Amino acid sequence: MCGITGWIDWNADLTRQANTIEKMTETLEPRGPDARGTWLSRYCAFGHRRLSVMDPAGGAQPMIRPAKDSDSHDCVLVYNGELYNAPELRRELETLGYRFRTTCDTEVLLLAYVEWGPGCVDRLNGIFAFAVWHTAEQKLFMARDRLGVKPLFYRREEGRLLFGSEPKAILAHPDVEATIDAEGLAELFVIGPARTPGHGVWKDMCELKPGHCLLYDRNGMKLHAYWQLESAEHEQDVASTAEAVRELLADTVERQLVSDVPICTLLSGGLDSSALTAFAVDYYDRTGQGRVHTFSVDYVDNDKHFQAHDFQPNADAPWIKRMNDYLGTIHHPKQFDTPELAGALDAAVLAKDLPGMADIDASLYLFCREIKKEATVAISGEAADEIFGGYPWFHREDALKAETFPWSLATDLRASLLSPELRAKLRPQEYLADRYAQAVAEVPQLPGESEADRRMRRMSYLNITRFMPTLLDRKDRMSMAVGLEVRVPFCDHRLVQYVFNIPWEIKTAGMREKGILRKSLEGVLPDDVLYRKKSPYPKTHNPHYFAAVRDRLLEKLDDPSSPLLPLVDTARIRELAAASDAGSHIPWFGQLMSGPQLFAYLLQVDFWLRHYKVKLVL
C-alpha cells in the first residue's frame, strides 16, 4: 500500500513547485515508509510514498508509460492499493501486444488505463485509489474502489485541484487553511465518528465516493459512479446459496494471500476472522508455505472486569485459543494497559486527521504497530456484519423502526452535549434527519418485494454505505499510520453484490444472525465456533480507563484556553461525568462507544482543535 498526492493547476508553473509537492508527499510517509517519488510538469505535480509489497525493485512511482498510439506523450500514474485480478489482466494485455517491465500490479493498472482509458475501472478487482495524468490531453483521471477500502480526498477551487490519500496532504499546501464550517461541525457532533459519503469534514474538502471516478480538465470537473449496489431477484435455495458464498469467499481469500512480504491474519475467535484464517491455513497447506501467523488483541485485567451484555455477549480469549489449537497457527497475542490506551488517543487523531472512534481507534493503532514488527500484510474480517446482517440492530424491532441510523440512536444525548449557541446553529435533529432521508432515497428498489423485505434491504444498504465506511476508514488509517497493509476479503465487490440480494429468510438460515454464512462454513470451522454468538472487536472494560478519560476531560473543562469550551455544554458534560458508570452498556455510537468512549471522543476533539489550529467559520 502507499500514499498518493497531487496538484493540477492551470494558472501556475508547477515545475517551480517542487518544494510544495515534496511537503505534501512527506506527510504521507507513514503510509509508505520504503520509498518516495515525485513527478512535475507544467500543469501537474504528483507525489508518492511506497510500502513495498509486490516487486520491491520494479514498482517505483510515479510510473510513466507512453500513451496509446503515441511516442511523444505519456500517461503518469500514482496508485495506492492492490489488484487481486492482476494476473488475468496482465495476460489479457499481453495478448494485446503490451510488454511488461515489472511484475507489480502498478504497471498492470497503468497499461490497463492506456488500453481502455477510464473504462479500465470496470475490469478491476481490488482495493485502490489512483490518479492518472494524460499529458497529451491535459486531463486528470482519478478512481476509487467500489467499497471505498482505500481513501482519496480532493479539494477543488478556481483553476486548481489538490488531492491526497489523507487530508493532511492537502492541508500541507500553503494556500489551504485548516478550516471547519457549520456543516463540518455537524458531521463531527451529529454524524461522527461516521461521515456522510463524499464529505471531507474540512471546509471545501471532499472525499471521492466509493465506486466513483473523477475527470478534471480545462472544462472543469466531472464525477461518475461506475459501480453501485443493484437489487435483483435471488432464485437459489439455501443449499445453493451457501455453496456460492463459500466458493466466493474461498476464491477471494486466496487472491488476497498473494504477497512478496510476510502476511498474517487477525484472529478474534469469532466467525468472520476464524473463517478467513481457516481458508488461509488450507491455502498455505496446499501450496507448501508453512504455518500461518495469527495475531489477537486484549487488555490488562479484561478477564476480571468483563461483563456480558447484548452488544458484547462473551469474551474472545477462550475462543482464540480454541481456533489456534484447531488450526495449528503460530499465534501472537498482544495486550495493552490503560495508560497505553489513553495515551494513544492523540496518535489516532493524527492518523485520521479527525476525531474518531476514541479508544477503539487507539487500540487498533497500538495493535497494528505491534503486528508491523513481525509482518507487513494482514488479513482482517471487517464488513461481514454489514453484509450478512450480524449487528444487533438488524434484529431489534426498536432499531428497525427508528427512522434514523440504527447505530446512532442517542440523538437527544448527542444534541444535549452542544452549547445552546451551537445547537441553534447546527439544528442537529434536522441535520440527522436530512442525512438519513438522503441515504434512504438511494436504496435500489426491487418491484414486488414485501414491506418486511424492503425494510431489511434498506437496513442492509444503510449498513454497507453508511456504517461500513467508518470501519474501513478506521482500519486503513490506523494500520497505514504504522506502515501495515490490511486486506479485507469480505469487501470483495462480487461477494457484496451477491449477498445484498439474498432474501432475509435465507440470510438468517437456521434462525441465526449471519445464518447463511454459518451454513456456508460447515465443515470449515468446528461447530462451537461456527455457532458462537457474535461478539465485536474487543474493548477495555477496565474501570481505570473510564476514570482516566473522565478526569482528563474534566481538566479540559477547567482550562479556559480549551477550544472545546465554546462548542459544548460544560454543565451537561459535568453532569454526565458525575452520574456515569464505567459499566454503562448503552452505546451512543455503534456497539462499543458508550460512556468512556464519549469522554474520550471529546478529548480527541479538544486535541484536534489545538493541534491543527482549526479555524471555525460559522
Of 31, 292, 35, 362, nearest to 164 by C-alpha is 31
Q: Which residue has the higher pLDDT, 361 or 260?
A: 361
Residues forming beta bridges with residue 157, ordered by sequence position: 160
Q: At what angle do helices 428-442 and 451-462 cross, to 10 degrees?
A: 110
pLDDT surpasses 50 at 119: yes
Task: List CB contacts of 193: < 8 A, sequence separation 6 or more.
Answer: 354, 355, 356, 357, 358, 470, 589, 593, 601
Residues forming beta bridges with residue 393, ordered by sequence position: none
In the block, cell 483553476 appears at 159
pLDDT (tens digit per residue) in 204-251 = 999 999 999 999 999 999 999 999 999 999 999 999 999 999 999 999
The answer to whether the CB of 210 falls within 8 A of the CB of 197 is yes
Q: At what angle do helices 238-256 and 271-287 cross, to 10 degrees?
A: 60
Comparing 291-300, 417-426, 434-443, the range with the smallest average pLDDT is 291-300
Which grid cell is 269? 475467535
Task: List CB contacts of 594: < 8 A, sequence separation 6 or more.
Answer: 584, 585, 586, 587, 588
Tally of CB atoms within 10 A around 15: 11
Position 521 scores a pLDDT of: 97
Of 334, 264, 342, nearest to 298 by C-alpha is 334
What are the phi and psi torsion angles at 13 (to 5°)?
-95, 105
Task: List CB contacts of 105: < 8 A, sequence separation 6 or more.
Answer: 54, 82, 83, 86, 126
Task: List CB contacts of 17: < 8 A, sequence separation 6 or more.
Answer: 7, 40, 45
pLDDT (tens digit per residue) in 547-604 = 999 999 999 999 999 999 999 999 999 999 988 564 455 688 998 888 899 999 999 9
Q: In what order do the strands lie in the sheet with 377-379?
A: 330-336, 293-299, 263-266, 377-379, 485-487
The answer to whether the CB of 483 falls within 8 A of the CB of 262 is no
Of 420, 395, 422, nearest to 406 by C-alpha is 395
**Residue ranges in 7-141 assigned as alpha helix (H):** 18-26, 86-95, 105-116
**What is the percent of the chain where pLDDT is above 70?**
95
pLDDT (tens digit per residue) in 448-484 = 999 999 999 999 999 999 999 999 999 999 999 999 9
Q: Which residue has the higher pLDDT, 497 or 259?
A: 497
Helix (H) or strand (E) holding 80: strand 74-83
Cα 349 to the center of its chain, rounded Å: 15
Which grid cell is 117? 482509458
The answer to whether the CB of 490 falls within 8 A of the CB of 256 is no
Average pLDDT over residues 481-493: 97
Which grid cell is 596? 468512556
Tally of CB atoms within 10 A around 550: 22
Q: Mean pLDDT score of the chain, rounded to an integer?
A: 93
User: Longest Cα pair distance anywhere in the chain, in angstroms?
Assistant: 72
Average pLDDT over residues 527-533: 89
Task: List CB contacts of 481: < 8 A, sequence separation 6 or more.
Answer: 30, 31, 347, 350, 351, 365, 368
The answer to whether the CB of 38 falls within 8 A of the CB of 62 is yes
Residue 559 to residue 565: CA distance in whole angstroms: 9
pTM of the entire predicted model: 0.95
Residues taking part in catalysis: 2
pLDDT (tens digit per residue) in 283-337 = 999 999 999 999 999 888 776 655 554 545 557 888 999 999 999 999 999 999 8
pLDDT surpasses 80 at 52: no
Position 59 scores a pLDDT of: 79
Give the dihedral of Cα atoms 226, 230, 232, 236; nearest 10 deg.
Answer: 90
**Long-range pairs for 259-263: beta carbons < 8 A, 24 or more residues apart:** 259/53, 259/54, 259/376, 259/377, 260/52, 260/53, 260/54, 260/55, 260/56, 261/52, 261/53, 261/375, 261/376, 261/377, 262/293, 262/374, 262/375, 262/376, 262/377, 263/375, 263/376, 263/377, 263/378, 263/379
The answer to whether the CB of 131 falls within 8 A of the CB of 4 is yes
Q: 59-91: string of b/e by CB count within 10 Å (b at 16+)?
A: bbbbbebebeeeeeebbbbbbbbbbbebeebbe
Residue 431 to residue 190: CA distance in whole angstroms: 8
Of 595, 263, 216, 157, nearest to 410 by C-alpha is 595
